[in-house]
Structure 1
Amino acid sequence: MKQRSFASLSFEVKKKPTRRERFLGEMDKVVPWADLLALIEPSYPTSGRRGRPPMAASTMLRIHFMQQWYALSDPAMEDALYEIESMRRFAGLELNEDAIPDESTILKFRRFMEQHGLAVKIFEAVNAHLSGQGLLLRQGTIVDATIIQAPSSTKNADKQRDPDMRQTKKGQQWYFGMKAHIGVDVESGLVHTVTTTPANVGDVTEVDKLLHGQEKTVHADAGYQGAEKRAPKRGRTWHIAAKRGSVKAMPEGDLKDAVKHTEHMKAAVRAKVEHPFRVVKRQFGYQKVRFKGLLKNTAQILTLFALSNLWMVRRTLLASAGEVRL
């Protein structure tokens, strides 16, 4: 049994749990750890060629997830493990007993995940877990995309921007970066498919990749005009928003009122697609790309949407397991 540190003992007797503690306690219960570790452990190194043995896969996976939840760099994650008892406890570490992984160890684990393509497997495993709980249905899909900005400055060692990123204009504003395209379940609002592209790629060009093939309805905004021609299938109904200009140009009368009412109902359904974006960008603080290159950033985005799915249904999962929310 591990000897408890003074910080750990003091942490136990405090009167009020912090928001971070409540959040980590909930996520500890809803993440399917056994399923995810079953994906990682077969290829995870069990011994080092020299030096100390690798950290446990379970510990490193928990640290990796905390990085995503709190938008921490590798050095910031190392500092947080030294400073914040609730994070150490979530990772299963004790200051006076365990070695705290340094930023290089955290970096190596992320590279291990990238090299073995584990981000997409984790995303699929989480969705399989949610499907088994009856939370991810297959009747309809909402598609949308969001821009993730990247540094546009050339004041760096290479004297150039990231070659995988591109510039695009949205409204009257120019952006440099990439796009995350998602397919969301109409009923639950959970993300079932994710793709990424440079920012200048049109939303409609990715629509066929965002459909799982079993949906009967597809909902999209006006940027997906003509999408039904790119992903044709009989028995599928498309609900694509009309362009605002065309609705505005209609003469006043009953017909325009009926069209505006129809567009309002379409928008009410599409609103669910904004929830995962809000969780990833606001709840998890993912405002800009952290890495260089589309491949590394895609791995992070897949992990973020897998975790956002779990966060959005955490109360349902806790209730079904008979857990009382902290």
Structure 2
Amino acid sequence: MNSYKRTGTTSLFSESYRLEKLSKQGDPLERLTKVVEWEYFRDTIEKVHQKKMVNAGPKPYDPLLMFKILILQRYYNLSDFQLEYQILDRLTFCRFLGLSLNDKVPDENTIWNFRDKLISKGIEQELFDKFSSLLEKHGLIAHQGKIIDASFVEAPRQRNSREKNTQIKEGTPPEEWNDQPNKRRQKDVDARWTKKNNQSYFGYKNHAKVDNVHKFIDTYATTDASVHDSQVLDTLLTEKDQGQDLWADSAYTGQEQENTIKKYKVKNKVHQKGCKNNPLTEVQKESNKEKSKTRARVEHVFGFMEQSMNKLYIRSIGIKRAIGFVGLVNLTYNLFRYEQVSRLDGITMSNWEM
């Protein structure tokens, strides 16, 4: 045995040695911690827990710790069980959360309950808006042009008969489910099927309006997957967009959409759409090609979610939780996008007036 290299012995410095090596290899969580002032979110996140009238019962975990756990969950797209296990197992997760190896870790039920309370109160939207306002205040949401697009959020596929799916679409779930509450709880009656490029999808959609300059998500909306992208245009646009260029693909064309664009007084940079009896001219094709150079920036946003954040896949049931899921996904994207911009431009929240 003495002829082999020694791997070391356990000591007070063993953990530090591992973390130092992980830092050199590049830990995205450590980079995020260096530029985000998490206390900025405390006032909002503490709304999850109502103040107790008595001191009986166990004390809850710090809501800021739980918030960071939810950011971890969305960045790595982990189930509650996987998340608990990974926090116990991974040094980088513990470092990000400020936990030592001797600290207790919230279990999967605690994580589920905290997230459910947060979503039921709409706090994910408050957190998103608060961070967006800060980005806007410091010029990172620049309002020099917006890009709109949507991405599927897939849900576990339901094995229902065609007849039952028809009933669900009509808003009347099968009566026999009323006598099977456990089965009813496992059925998502809000998610919908749709097809795109001959591929079927079941679930929801994340509709996003992205700022052209730094690619932050400015506004978003959640619908079931069957809602056409163009139907959410009026929801995404605001008075702040007035006078700005608006880029989008040809799915956002039509008289209703043109009226919406005029209503908000934005400059129409939407791709033109040809049809069988009225194909695009060469000039229109060239115009679309030029527009694509800017419009493609929104693909970087959804590409980051698909690759770095391990795809948009929801494990919960119902539109309410889907709205919360999408809100947390978009906030997580903006936080990590902020880290990228900070690294390139030398910006940190610690230098900002909050």
Give the alignment's TM-score, normalised by structure 1. Answer: 0.86
Contact 1:181 1:196 (C-alpha < 8 Å) held by counterparts: yes
Deviations 1:251-276 (A, max 9, x none): xxxxx443222111111111111122
1:302 — aligned with what?
Answer: 327
Match 1:237 to one of 245, 250, 267: 267
- For 2:104 and 2:75, how far apart are their aligned partners in 1? 23
In the TM superposition, 1:63-74 aligns within 5 A as: 63-74=69-80
Matched, 1:10 2:36: no
1:56 — aligned with what?
Answer: 62
Question: CA 1:57/1:21 → structure 2, altered by over 3 Å: closer, same or farther?
Answer: farther
State the AA in 2 paired with 1:306.
L
State the AA in 1 paired with 2:143.
R
Moved more, 146-155 or 190-199: 146-155
Question: CA 1:45/1:28 → structure 2, altered by over 3 Å: closer, same or farther?
Answer: farther
- For 2:47 and 2:194, how far apart are their aligned partners in 1? 42
1:253 — aligned with what?
Answer: none
In the TM superposition, 1:157-236 aligns within 5 A as: 157-158=183-184, 161-215=187-241, 216=243, 217-226=245-254, 227-233=257-263, 235-236=265-266
2:30 — aligned with what?
Answer: 25
- Cα drift, residue 140 of structure 1: 2.0
Moved more, 48-57 or 261-270: 48-57
- For 1:51 and 1:159, how far apart are their aligned partners in 2? 29
State the AA in 2 paired with 1:190.
F
- For 1:321 and 1:271, how far apart are their aligned partners in 2? 28
- Cα drift, residue 287 of structure 1: 3.1
Contact 1:194 1:210 (C-alpha < 8 Å) held by counterparts: yes
Partner SS, residue 105 of structure 2 = coil
- For 1:296 and 1:158, how far apart are their aligned partners in 2? 16
Deviations 1:51-84 (A, max 9, x none): 4311112221111111111111111111112111
Q: Say which structure, 1 or 2, has more relative contact order (CA 8 Å, 6+ apart).
A: 2
Question: CA 1:219/1:145 → structure 2, altered by over 3 Å: closer, same or farther?
Answer: same
Give the alignment's TM-score, normalised by structure 2. Answer: 0.80
Matched, 1:321 2:348: yes
- Cα drift, residue 159 of structure 1: 9.5
Cα RMSD for the two superposed structures = 2.7
In the TM superposition, 1:80-119 aligns within 5 A as: 80-96=86-102, 98-119=103-124
Partner SS, residue 61 of structure 2 = coil
Deviations 1:229-268 (A, max 9, x none): 2343374221121225569945xxxxx4432221111111
Deviations 1:263-319 (A, max 9, x none): 111111111111221122221113322210111111121111112122123133241
Identity %: 29
2:5 — aligned with what?
Answer: none
Where structure 1 has 5 or more consecutive residues not aligned to the other structure, the ranges are 1-5, 251-255
- Cα drift, residue 321 of structure 1: 3.4
- For 2:31 and 2:23, how far apart are their aligned partners in 1? 12
- For 2:184 and 2:12, how far apart are their aligned partners in 1? 45
Deviations 1:111-144 (A, max 9, x none): 2211221100111111112112211012322111
Matched, 1:285 2:310: yes
Partner SS, residue 94 of structure 2 = helix
- For 1:63 and 1:20, how far apart are their aligned partners in 2? 23
Partner SS, residue 178 of structure 1 = strand
Aligned residues: 312
- For 1:192 and 1:7, how far apart are their aligned partners in 2? 48
